[in-house]
Structure formats: C-alpha cells, structure tokens
C-alpha cells in the first residue's frame, strides 16, 4: 500500500559547494523558492502562495460530506484567512507546517483519537502538540462552518493533558538577587568572570517585568520611538503601549498602562546614558528579541537554579511574580486584571492563594477554640 502524501512543505536543499536553499517538496515534485537558508520567512510566504495556487481548497465548501474534506485544504484556507493576519503569523505558519507534515492528505473523517495521540507522541512536547491540535481543530471548524447546507457539528480534537500552571514566584529578596546577578555577570575568561558585562540587558528586562507584569515578548519588542510592529514606551507621558503598532489585539490582552515613576526614571536614565537608544531592552546597541540566551546562567549565579520543573525560574516567572506581589499588597483583582491584561478567571484560578483574606474564615474557625457541631456529635456517640 503506498504511503500517503505528506503534502506541500519546505525542505532545505544543501548542494555541495553551494549555499543551502529552501525548496518546496510536494510528493515527487521539488520547486525552488530562490530563498537562502536565512530567508525562512520569505520561503514560508512562497510556500503559502504555492499551496493556494495548487488548487482551490475552498471547493469542498460547496456541499457534500465534510468528513471527505482533506485536512490540507482546511489548513490552507485557515492560513490564508486567519493566520496571515494574526498577531504572530510566523508561529502560526510553523504550526500549520508541523500539522501538514504529519497529517498530509488525510481527510477529516480519518482524524480518529489514535491518529491524534500518535501525533502528540511523535511531537515530543505535549504542550506544543496540544496547541497545534487546537489550531487544527480551529482550521477545520473555520472551514466547515461555511459549507453549504449549514454544518452544525464541530470537530473536537483529542488533546494531551494540559501542563499544570506554573506557581513559582519570587520573594523580594530573590528578585533582588536575580537583578544583581544579571547586573554583575561577566564574560568568563580562563575559568573566571573577568571579561565584559554580558547580562545587563537581562537586568533591565527583569526590572520592567517586575514593575509592570508584562509578558516577555511585549517587553523585548517595546521601542522608545513609535515603530511599526513594536510596542512603545512614551518617555514624555510615561505610558507603555504594549500592543505593537499595526497589530491586531489577540486573546492575550495588551492594555496601555501608566508606568511607575521609579521605572520611568530608570528608562529615561538608560536613554540619556545611551544604554537604551531605540528599545528599552538592548544588548550592545541592538534590540533583543528574547532574553533566553544567558538567562539560565544568571539564574544559576543568583542561586535560584532548580532541577524541579515547577520550581524553575524562567522569564515568565517575572510576570507571575509581579501579579503575585500586586495581589499580596491588596490591589483589587479587577485592577490587576486591567493593568496586567489577565482575565479575572485566570487570576482566581492561578493566583487565588495570593489574595489576602481568602482563607480567613477557615483559619478563624480553628483559632476560636469553639466546639464544632461535628465534635459535639462525636462526643455524644462515645
């Protein structure tokens, strides 16, 4: 029995003596893109154009059995109509590629639980598999909703268990140690930290995160002048526009907020000293896209490293810490929700143990020393 086609996908072709180039593989066909290895974004755009031009994936919407529609068609339409205009198109395209690589020319009717569990198993990261299977379900439902005949039944994916929410947050002392470690970290020479400072941009990231509770990506993309595709920290008004100019608001809310006067003073000083010229987080004069490189070394230097996953300190821990501090200091839940861009439901679910007074009645019942009804009943039974 012939193996099912994997569908159109990108492949890196490396010829001897030549630079690696991206090609489009579609069954036995190989189509050149003219894009070098470092031009992945342009290659992805050409792949999308090729998939759309290959045939009309919307043809299946005109009627018939939705179970006979190819998954590749649903993914193609979703990529063009939704992902291309989303806040993070590159991440979305990567997910579509992973799904297309595995499911290929499968039909919707073939997507049983066994096949989806096999996808999650080979994917390795269960959280990534969960997100991608949710994206596939969204693509299929987007496709069949528009079918003539009014399809009512929606496709429900078989998902791996969701990863538990991270509960690690830093005390004030731990946060101070982390900032100091990042500020003092030097390049290692001959086994000793004697070289140039390497992690001061991470220290600046930590300060912004702790003061604002902003997601790591929004901090790293925050510019000091209005820039298309980036958020903006206005040093005159003291406001932080988290949502990038030209981007649509996604499910992850990014409200514009006022900065704390101390943080605003820090950022103004960084610009005055030439530390941050065009972006709030820069390394050697260049804006950084993420702070993952060098992060683990800083955490280790601060004495906060752990082999236990739930206790690991990651960049997102700074947002978690900021929200936890706000709640512990008595800030109302709705104010924390509005400032940090997190729903009230998530605050109650993930951060409920930080809300002051949440268990006062339980604690008071033990402190009162009064005999409960249960204790009285037990005494009568003796």
The 10 Å Cβ neighbour count of residue 128 is 15
How far apart CA 373 and CA 275 sit, in angstroms, is 66
pLDDT on residue 191: 80
To 10 degrees, the CA torsion angle through 128, 129, 131, 133?
A: 160
- In the predicted structure, residue 358 carries a pLDDT above the cut 70: no
pLDDT tens, residue by residue, 171-230: 999 999 999 999 999 988 888 888 889 999 999 999 999 999 999 999 999 999 999 989
Residue 64 DSSP class? S
- In the predicted structure, residue 363 carries a pLDDT above the cut 80: no
pLDDT tens, residue by residue, 142-167: 888 766 555 556 889 999 988 776 77
Cα angle 301-306-310, degrees, rounded to a multiple of 5: 135
Enter the CATH code of domain 55-163: 1.10.150
CA of residue 129 relative to chain centroid, distance: 14
The 10 Å Cβ neighbour count of residue 289 is 11
- In the predicted structure, residue 60 carries a pLDDT above the cut 60: no
State in Å, rounded, how far the first CA of the chain is from the last one.
76
Strand partners, 189: 192
Q: Please, which pLDDT band fits residue 59 given cuts at 50, 70 and 90?
A: low
Q: Please, which pLDDT band fits residue 131 given cuts at 50, 70 and 90?
A: very high
pLDDT tens, residue by residue, 237-263: 999 999 998 887 777 789 999 999 999
Give 279 or 80, the one with higher predicted confidence: 279
Per the prediction, the chain carries an average pLDDT of 86
Residue 16 DSSP class? T
CB 213 within 8 A of CB 268: no
To 10 degrees, the CA torsion angle through 50, 54, 59, 61?
A: -30
Enter the CATH code of domain 172-354: 1.10.443.10
- In the predicted structure, residue 1 carries a pLDDT above the cut 50: no
- Residues contacting 93, CB < 8 A, separation 6+: 44, 48, 79, 83
Q: Please, which pLDDT band fits residue 85 given cuts at 50, 70 and 90?
A: confident
Residue among 311, 289, 290, 313 at smallest CA distance from 301: 313
How far apart CA 15 and CA 34 sit, in angstroms, is 14
The 10 Å Cβ neighbour count of residue 203 is 19
Kindly list the domain boundaries of the chain, sorted by start residue: 1-41, 55-163, 172-354
- In the predicted structure, residue 2 carries a pLDDT above the cut 50: no
pTM above 0.75, yes or no: no
Crossing angle of helices 71-81 and 89-103, rounded to 10°: 170
Q: Please, which pLDDT band fits residue 52 given cuts at 50, 70 and 90?
A: low
Three-state DSSP class for 284? coil
Average pLDDT of the residues in 36-53:
84
């Amino acid at each position: 029995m012939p193996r099912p086609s994997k569908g159109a996908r990108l492949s890196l072709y490396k010829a001897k003596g030549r630079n690696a180039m991206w090609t489009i593989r579609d069954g036995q066909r190989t189509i050149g893109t003219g894009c070098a290895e470092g031009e992945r974004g342009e290659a992805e755009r050409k792949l999308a154009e090729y998939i759309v031009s290959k045939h009309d994936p919307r043809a299946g919407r005109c009627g018939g059995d939705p179970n006979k529609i190819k998954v590749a068609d649903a993914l193609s339409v979703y990529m063009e109509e939704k992902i291309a205009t989303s806040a993070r198109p590159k991440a979305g395209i990567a997910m579509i590629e992973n799904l297309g690589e595995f499911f290929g020319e499968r039909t919707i009717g073939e997507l049983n639980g066994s096949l989806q569990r096999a996808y999650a198993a080979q994917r390795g990261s269960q959280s990534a598999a969960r997100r991608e299977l949710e994206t596939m379900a969204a693509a299929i439902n987007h496709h069949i909703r528009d079918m003539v005949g009014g399809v009512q039944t929606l496709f429900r994916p078989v998902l791996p268990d969701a990863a538990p929410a991270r509960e690690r947050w830093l005390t004030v002392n731990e946060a101070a140690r982390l900032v100091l470690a990042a500020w003092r970290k030097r390049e290692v020479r001959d086994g000793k930290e004697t070289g140039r400072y390497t992690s001061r941009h991470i220290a600046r990231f930590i300060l912004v995160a702790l003061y604002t509770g902003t997601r790591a990506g929004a901090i790293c993309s925050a510019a000091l002048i209005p820039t298309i595709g980036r958020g903006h920290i206005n040093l005159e008004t003291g406001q932080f526009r988290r949502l990038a100019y030209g981007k649509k608001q996604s499910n992850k809310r990014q409200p514009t907020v006022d900065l704390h006067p101390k943080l605003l003073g820090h950022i103004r000083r960084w610009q005055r000293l030439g530390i941050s010229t065009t972006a709030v987080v820069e390394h050697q004069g260049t804006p950084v896209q993420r702070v993952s490189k060098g992060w683990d070394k800083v955490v280790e230097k601060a004495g906060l490293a752990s082999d236990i996953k739930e206790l690991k300190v990651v960049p997102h821990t700074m947002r978690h810490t900021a929200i936890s501090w706000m709640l512990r200091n008595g800030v109302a839940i709705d104010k924390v929700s509005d400032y940090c861009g997190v729903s009230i439901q998530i605050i109650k679910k993930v951060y409920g143990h930080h809300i002051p007074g949440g268990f006062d009645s339980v604690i008071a019942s033990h402190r009162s020393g009064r005999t409960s009804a249960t204790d009285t009943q037990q005494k009568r039974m003796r």
